[in-house]
Structure 1
Amino acid sequence: MADQAKTLPPDVARQVIDPHSYAEWDGLLDTFDRLRLESPVARIEPDDGKLFDPFWLVTRYEDVMRISKDNATFLNNPRPVVFSFRDAIEFSRQATGSDMLVDSLVVFDAPIHPKYRRLTQDWFMPRNLQKMEEEIRAIAHATVDRLVAAGPEVDFVKLVSGPYPLHVVMQILGVPEEDEPRMQMLTQQLFGGQDKDLSGTGLDQMTPEQVVQLVAGAVRTFEDYFAKLAEDRRANPTDDVASVIANAMVDGAPLPARDMAGYYIIVATAGHDTTSASTAGAMMALAQDPEQWARVKADRSLLPGIVEEAIRWTTPVQHFMRTAAEDVELGGQQIKKGDWLMINYVAANHDPAQFENPRKFDAARSPNRHLAFGAGAHQCLGLHLARMEMKILFETLLDRIECIELAGEPKRATSTFVGGLKTLPVRFVAS
């Protein structure tokens, strides 16, 4: 029998949806630890009933995994797949006719989703990615060359973890190198619009309306850019992902313009920003633990464990939303058809029922069945690429850096959706 629904107090509700909470990591984890024990599936409602629609917060690993794998009961459509205020949803409807500013792989359900995913899935499988290994290794070497030249004290995010995965994914998309800074800024506005440093506004407390207008502007610029790229790839196809998308046929017809733009945008943005966050998280953990750096420098077989743990420990994609397709019981609560749910990956990846001492960075953690890439039909398309990029970069760093330590306080992004370190000051000695 389902328990009586518990609505969280306003201060806890605000913490869950406030982007500043995600910059204060330990306090947020404390809250999730308490909620997991007291009310693992809890109702969140706005103070005044106007700011946002009520939703269920899901914090337990087993519940988040269940939702992630059951794509028939828990839908990505028709409601927003990322937490949104009502003003933002209304703005999106007026601007695009959809509740989402971007229609991409992330928001589609079956039968559309598997058809679209198949278009590029083979491209991102390990067998095909092996063809890119030497090119990625060359990018890693050039990145570490710049690091060594700029040392001994640098911001690792600005110099390494930001530009390295960006350059890799832009090579995959066929975007010219001179356009990469523009792609970086647009990505930061799309995912980090709530952060004054990443959005480029300098505004510490933007209203939801200001944030969504900033994001919408970034989306329009992306759409214009990729429309031109697609036109070129239709006239002059190459072997890059941009050509696959531009010339794709589904059910005998080319992709609609909006869907094609969304496909480009998700590859261009999620393809590097999340890897950047995990890479910075790995470096922070190693810089805080000189003995672990020395161990992996001597024994590279430890590297895959460091990469995997960094992805769990950092959890760059912090949540997604789902909509119940039918009445269902979850975590002792009765979820009604049409209810909105937040599956919080930060909470799930720090669930002690699944991960012993979850706040500890443990490179030997096994098994490490984290949810940072999601699960089920919507599992991250680029997970093999992310692991490969990180492994190659850290092999290169370990070859060139003798020791490394923090040179200041790292700072996390102010963001409810995609998050991670925005600054990581380090001091190192080159080999």
Structure 2
Amino acid sequence: MKQQAPPDLFEPGLFDGTRFYDAFAWYRANDPVSWQHPAGEPEGFWSVTKYHDVVSVHRDSTRMSSTKGMRLDSTDRAVDAVANKMLIVSDPPDHTRMKRVLIQPFSNEVLARAEEYVEKVVADVVAAAVRNPEPDLIKHLARIPTDVICAIMGLPRSDWAWIGEKTTEAFESPSEVRRITANSEIFKYFYDLVSENRRTAANDFINTLTTRTDSSPQLTDEELVFNFSGILAGGNETTRYTLASLTHQLAEHPDQWSRIIEGEVDPSVATEEGLRWSVPGMHVMRTATEAVRVGEAEIEPGQRVVTWIGSANRDAEIFDNPDTFDVGRTGNRHVSFGAGRHMCLGSRLARLEITAYLRTLRSTVGSMQLEGEPRYNGSNFTWGLNELPVVLSA
């Protein structure tokens, strides 16, 4: 893995496939906390690639702030508009206050009631994929997280397809204008929904979040709108990428699929390997509020720190044979949902959906055939497959 010059993490096309894993391996071995200053960018940042360093940054909410943005291509104007109003770009005490409210719809009790519906959605989607094969299986898989999160949020069924399309466009469109426009349309949609519910109180999901209790302070309408967008994106994009990646790996590794079919490996265990392998959230950014040491690097106040989840999930100090897809991997300490205060709110829901998908595949699908070249979206932030030519057969 030795080479004379460090790999360029901003080489065009690096994330169009999986070549970036070699770059991450070089940095873990040679320069695990490295200073990066991409050409044409006004400022640089610290790049963190080893598991323990990544976790330490995520858990340090005192010296590592989220309010300056949590992704590399954030604009100051966009971040300032939502800082301390949106969970993912907030610090305590605002983060604590908002999370206390927003975690309610994702409690074990609520998700237990949702499990039957999740199973039904997954069964319908898999049956449709077997009955009507598409050149791109993702056209079917995308329905699972979209239908589930929209149902939980109590959104009108007639809006679900539009919401799925706009969420994907907001993250994946190669056009910055289209991404901004899609985000604006989503914000407008939720603003209208919250305003209407103030008059009608017809949406139980919103009512749960707007009912003040001693332990649950009320959120402003602006905070509701911003965080609804975040919930929608988190519940939709990341789960879809994991479902696609997991299907791809099982199709390419029939021996791993056989372990699930034959009952050697429980779907809930295979779910964790799917999450480790897929890494839908590739990087997370923080900004140092005071001097702090990360690994061997001395971080100065105001400097940005980027943690690479995709690298942490392949750290050989934590995972045996990290570059091997192993559905039976136990003690799977992946950080695909983050760590610390900003651990993903929807992690339990995502696990529920993915495990239900594997159980349904096991009981209804006989084979998975890869019939072309999968394509990746090329993003170094929300990374994953956006085209998967796999055919499911009964």
Whether TM-score is above 0.5 comes out as: yes
Instruction: Decide whether aligned partners of structure 1 residues 253 and 36 sit closer, same or farther in structure 2, where only a CA change above 3 A counts.
Output: closer
1:14 aligns with 2:10: yes
Q: What TM-score does the superposition give when structure 2 sets the normalisation length?
A: 0.92
1:69 counterpart residue number = 59
Matches within 5 A, 1:343-358: 343-358=307-322
Cα RMSD after superposing both structures = 2.4
The one-character-per-residue Cα deviations of 1:218-265 (angstroms, maximum 9, x if unpaired) are: 222111111121123333335743333355689997533432211110
Q: Structure 2 unaligned segments of length 5 or more: list them.
A: none
Aligned partners of 2:100 and 2:216 also within 8 Å: no
Q: CA deviation at 1:10?
A: 9.0
Query: Which residue among 37, 48, 73 is the counterpart of 1:45?
Result: 37
CA distance in 1, matches of 2:238, 2:213: 29
Structure 1, unaligned runs of 5 or more: 1-7, 195-209
Structure 2 residue identity aligned to 1:36: R
Structure 1 residues 177-203: Cα deviation after superposition (integer angstroms, max 9, x where no partner): 221221122211222133xxxxxxxxx
Secondary structure (helix, strand or coil) at the match of 1:299 reads coil
Q: Which amino acid aligns with 2:137?
A: F
* C-alpha separation in 1, matches of 2:21 and 2:91: 31
1:321 maps to which of 280, 285, 288: 285
**Once the 2 structures are TM-superposed, how far is the Cα of residue 384 of structure 1 from its aligned partner?**
0.6
The answer to whether residue 53 in structure 2 is matched with residue 89 in structure 1 is: no
User: Which position in structure 1 is the counterpart of 2:98?
Assistant: 116
Q: Distance in 2 between matches of 1:32 and 1:402?
A: 36
Query: d(CA) in 2 for partners of 1:424 and 1:299?
Result: 26
Structure 1 residues 257, 338: closer, same or farther in 2, change over 3 A? Answer: same
- Corresponding residue of 1:182: 162
> Closer, same or farther in 2 for the Cα pair 1:164/1:245, shift >3 Å?
same
CA–CA distance in 1 between the matches of 2:144 and 2:84?
25
2:301 match: 337
User: Normalised by the size of structure 1, how large is the TM-score?
Assistant: 0.85
Asked if the contact 1:58/1:64 (under 8 Å) is kept, the reply is yes
Distance 1:250 1:274 in 2: 33
TM-aligned CA distance change 1:189 to 1:102, over 3 Å:
farther
Give the deviation of 1:298 after TM superposition: 2.3
CA change 1:243–1:23 in 2 (3 A) is: farther
Q: Is the 8 A contact 2:211 2:218 kept in 1?
A: yes
How do 1:303-314 residues align onto structure 2 when only pairs under 5 Å count? 303-314=267-278
Letter in 2 for 1:158: K
1:272–1:21 Cα change, 3 Å = same
Give per-residue Cα distances to partners, 1:281-319, cap 9 Å, x unaligned. 111111112222222112175211111000010010111
| Distance apart, 1:322 and its partner CA | 0.4
1-structure distance, mates of 2:156, 2:178 = 24
Aligned with 1:381 (options 317, 342, 345): 345
Aligned length, in residue pairs? 391
Q: Deviation of residue 100 (structure 1)?
A: 5.5
Structure 2: how far apart are the matches of 1:126 and 1:390?
Answer: 16
Question: Is 2:53 aligned against 1:60?
Answer: no
**What are the within-5 Å matches in structure 2 for residues 23-422 of structure 1?**
23-25=16-18, 27-48=19-40, 51-77=41-67, 79-84=68-73, 88-90=75-77, 92=78, 98=80, 103-151=85-133, 154-159=135-140, 161-194=141-174, 210-211=175-176, 213-237=177-201, 240-247=204-211, 254-299=218-263, 301-422=265-386
After TM superposition, the structure 1 stretch with the greater mean CA deviation from structure 2, 294-303 or 337-346, is 294-303
Cα–Cα, structure 1 residues 219 and 258, in superposed 2: closer, same or farther, change >3 Å? farther
Cα offset, 1:155, TM superposition: 2.1
Alignment CA distance shift 1:109-1:349 (3 Å): same
Letter in 2 for 1:76: S
Amino acid at match of 1:59: T
